[in-house]
Chain A
Amino acid sequence: MTHLVILPILLPLAAAVACTLMRSSIQAQRRVSLSAALAMIPVAFLLLERASHGGIDVYALGGWRAPFGIVLVLDRLAALMAALCILLALPALFYAAGGIDAEGRHFHALFQLQVAGLNGAFLTGDLFNLFVFFEVLLLASYGLLSHGNGLSRARAGLTYVVLNLAGSALFLIALGLLYGTLGTLNMADMAEALTRLPAADQALVRTAGAFLVAVFALKAALLPLSFWLPHVYGAACAPVAALFAIMTKVGIYAVLRVSAVTFSAAPFTADLLQPWLMPFAIATIAVGTLGALAARRLGVVVANFIVVSTGTLLAAIAVSSTDAVAAALYYLVHSTLVSAGFFLLADRIAAARGASSDHFASGPPLTNAMALGAGYLTLAIAICGAPPLSGFIGKAMILQSVQGAALAPAAWAAILLSSLLPALVLARTASVFFWEPRPPRAGMLLQLGWPTAAIVLLAAASPLLSVFAAPVAAYARAAAEQLHSPRSYYGAVLGADAEIQRERRP
């Protein structure tokens, strides 16, 4: 049993505690927070390396073995998601260290807590533990969202908290029903329990499963539950929005994990997602694209791109073939890093334009227009899915895997239009920002430093993902294959002796 698996949770937690203790000095907080994020980078690569051999590491907390204790499970998918979260946190922190973190108190502590919650949600093998980590990351996100002041942030925060509290209530109802019928909340053990569930309880379990999927759809911002997202992400400050880019992916990860590991075990839950996920995903793409067209600020445009990426990912997951899931995982890595980079760049442009901020109105001419323009062009090409960058590769993989599925023509049309229309939006935005300056008044001078380094890091992600497309896609494929053969997961978590002594309940 290696302790590596729990490091991605413990390290940020320790950093968060340390940051809380050093409340007076922002410099000291920055040092602790940045060194924790830097120390996580080798951990991310160790996780990926360990998982890439195909083994599944199970870490029993406190030495209590499943299904009695809580386990953390490291397989290829969990390692990929945790590594993505770690790689995203570092540039976001770089950006925040440029001065945004000093606008309110406890930025670094909350940021590290959120990273701990995200990593925990990716690594846990227990459904109630997933709920707890959801709450950890949500609590931290509530604090981060209201970081800095302003009415729009307080209002957006209120909507967001109320919505997520209602979501948590639904999550708990689902957990209560599942525990009441299955008698366990360990994902592998639930799969075993599903296979010998009496027919009378099947409807109840199906209902609970539907509740669960609805909660995950709320976190992922799937259509009827997606209208909060542009509002909230558009109001958050840039490094927070960048970290939030992976928060919708937690919902997608949870849908993928629970449907592949638990629900696939019995026929009456296996088809839970099938009939409706695809149409909702297509509608999500459409609404996100329209939202991007209608937005009046660059930050809100990027927030709508996150909705589009949720739709695209869930369209692939709805097909649920190994190819489709592999394509979705590649696209997930790409869209998280690129949209996070775009949030940071939008904030830089807003800072350079002074009072005009990132609204679509002509403002003072941009200094450093060449550098900002180059970053904008790279990220815009990547996020639209135009060749040669990774968005194109990801979308091509998804299009290919969707072929032949139900509703494939509609999915193709939606995914292709969600490339074309954002391209128009971004071109229009660029012409306003870069080519229509109001001549007088010199623009503010942008300082290089941490924020620029953060944007360069994230903008470099897309070219790197294109250059190393083959190994990343191969890893995503292996992860999808591992996910679709849950026998090895059950074996790793529950041990070889499948028959565990249980007490019968009345």
Chain B
Amino acid sequence: MELVFSLAIGLLTATGLYLLLKEQTFSVILGLTLLSYGVNLLLFASGRLAVNAPPLVLGGIERHSDPLPQALVLTAIVIGFGMTAYLIALALRAKGESGSDHVDAGADKE
């Protein structure tokens, strides 16, 4: 499972970085979303991967998984979601004003 997990993180991060460096705002936003998926998985894995281990102390259960990374990941997801929503709104406004989706559109007009 570790191998699959780490491959998924690596793939998401690499794709995210590639898209982040493109010149269309839309690709950049997609790239940031993928990057944040990869990062969230990494954060989740920092508590070690465990199957069938609840993060709660319940009677009769010996193995527990670390609850803290799950809380951290929740925070990170919420923040990342809000940021992406704002970024899309901002990109739409910039596109509406300059008429182009290029990241540098209108930069020479300053």
Contact = CB atoms under 8 A, between A and B. Distances in A.
A180 B75 contact: no
In this complex, the interface size class of chain A, counting residues with CB under 8 Å from chain B, is 20 to 34
A505 B48 contact: yes
Interface in A143-172: 146, 151-152, 154-155, 157-159, 161-162, 165-166, 168-169, 172
Contacts of A263: none
Given A176-B43, A180-B46, A158 B110 contact: no
B97 A169 contact: no
Given A146-B90, A165-B32, A179 B68 contact: yes
Nearest to B97: A151
Interface in A472-506: 505-506
A176 B94 contact: no
Contacts of A152: 106, 109-110
Interface of B: 20, 25, 28, 32, 35-36, 39-40, 42-43, 45-48, 50, 66, 68-69, 72, 75-76, 79-80, 82-83, 86-87, 90-91, 93-94, 97-98, 103, 105-107, 109-110
A177 B106 contact: no
B45 A180 contact: yes
Nearest to B87: A161
A173 B45 CA distance: 11
7 contacts: A132-B75, A139-B86, A155-B105, A166-B20, A172-B76, A179-B43, A180-B48
Nearest to A506: B48
Contact of B25 (A132, A158, A177): A158
A68 B100 CA distance: 50
Contact of B93 (A154, A168, A180): A154
Contacts of B50: 506
B101 to A, nearest CB: 11
Contacts of A151: 94, 97-98, 106, 109
A161 B103 CA distance: 12
B87 A165 contact: yes
Interface in A71-95: none
A168 B76 CA distance: 9
A176 B35 contact: no
A175 interface: yes
Given A154-B97, A158-B94, A179 B69 contact: yes
B70 to A, nearest CB: 12
A252 B79 CA distance: 23
Contacts of B72: 128, 175, 179
Contacts of A505: 48, 66
B26 to A, nearest CB: 12
A427 B23 CA distance: 40
A12 to B, nearest CB: 19
A169 B91 CA distance: 20
B98 A155 contact: yes
Contacts of B42: 172-173, 176-177
A268 interface: no
